[in-house]
Amino acid sequence: MTTPSLENISEKSKIKLEDIAVIIKIIRTQTPTVSELVKETSLSRGQIKRFLSSVKPFVNYAAASSRLTLTDKGLQALFLQQEDTPPSFKKEDLEEFIHFSKALSPKPNREYDQFCATIQTVLKRVEKFIKEKDLQKRKVAFLGDGDLTSLAAAYIFCAEEITVLEIDENILNVIEETSRKFNLNIQSVKWDLRKAIPRGFLHRFDTVFTDPPYTANGFDLFLRRSLEATKENSLSSHYICYGTSSLSRERSLKIQRIINDYALFVREKLPNFNTYIQGAEAVGNVSDLYILEKTPQTKLGKSKPAKKLYTWE
């Protein structure tokens, strides 16, 4: 009997990998009923039943009141899959590599509202990707990458693929040269994100990161492109940054409305997660990181004209 992969189970059940890991651990250690599993995980009964259907040969389950137990080595193998250790790397080596790549980085281009994030910020981003399991065996896209975060992510050598869509040729040159030097798995494409995602990259990715212009229109457009780029299920992760001062709540409300308009779930909002060396003085040289997920209600709707994206317009 072939053991299904966690990725296949995730696709069939529409449950995120980290939630599947929790389910398997609970079944293994607590032998719960379906009702108890719903309560423990905060997932819906429908989601749990889809999960059970996708692992039917490996779980003893007769009725809703029955206790769930593992059967043969099949689900044990699943348990071992989800227990995989995080990618092995030395934080000091990664930090040194970021230092190296940052030294090659061109001066931030105000035409594109580029800011220069600190080395520690880039390091934190990669650590967050890994913690959330949004880098390991994932197809990852960076929509713009003035901070060269893609290089740091690729340096871990655990993503299935990494793609950068970037308008600035100077940034692309650094990414391409560094990728060749260190044999990194990065595909870089010159692209103006005011245009829709290229057909070859439409609904391709599991994880998207973007640090867009800090205007409502910029946030809206780049979030839309992120949704275009990710697979057509609710399992993708969207990392998007936005800077606003504590005195400008109206700007934050606009961002909340945009997120709500797309019917996205806010998995996490990390205030002041990103710190910039220069260029973002208007927002105190810091920005928040939003981690968003699609829901069944998420719809793109009609595309809006790309106007007044940048803070200088």
Residues 254 and 223 placed together within one structural domain of the fold: yes
Which phi and psi angles does 305 have, rounded to 5°?
-60, 140
Residues 215 and 75 placed together within one structural domain of the fold: no
Residues 261 and 126 placed together within one structural domain of the fold: yes
Residues 76 and 185 placed together within one structural domain of the fold: no
DSSP 3-state of 191: coil
- Structural domain includes residue 302: no
- Structural domain includes residue 106: yes
Give the pLDDT confidence score for residue 85 in this predicted structure. 54
Residues 239 and 107 placed together within one structural domain of the fold: yes
Question: Residues 235-242: what's their mean pLDDT?
Answer: 93
CATH of the domain at 184: 3.40.50.150
Residues 102 and 48 placed together within one structural domain of the fold: no
Residues 148 and 268 placed together within one structural domain of the fold: yes
- Structural domain includes residue 313: no
- Structural domain includes residue 67: yes
What is the total count of domains within the chain?
A: 2
Give the pLDDT confidence score for residue 1 in this predicted structure. 52
Q: Where in the sequence is the domain holding 53, given as residue range(s)?
A: 6-82
Question: Alpha-carbon distance 166 to 179, whole Å?
Answer: 15
Which of the four pLDDT bands, split at 50, 70 and 90, describes residue 278? low
pTM: 0.76
- The mean pLDDT of the chain is 85
Tokens 């990618």 -> residue: 87
Q: Which residues contact 93 (CB under 8 A, 6 or more apart)?
A: none
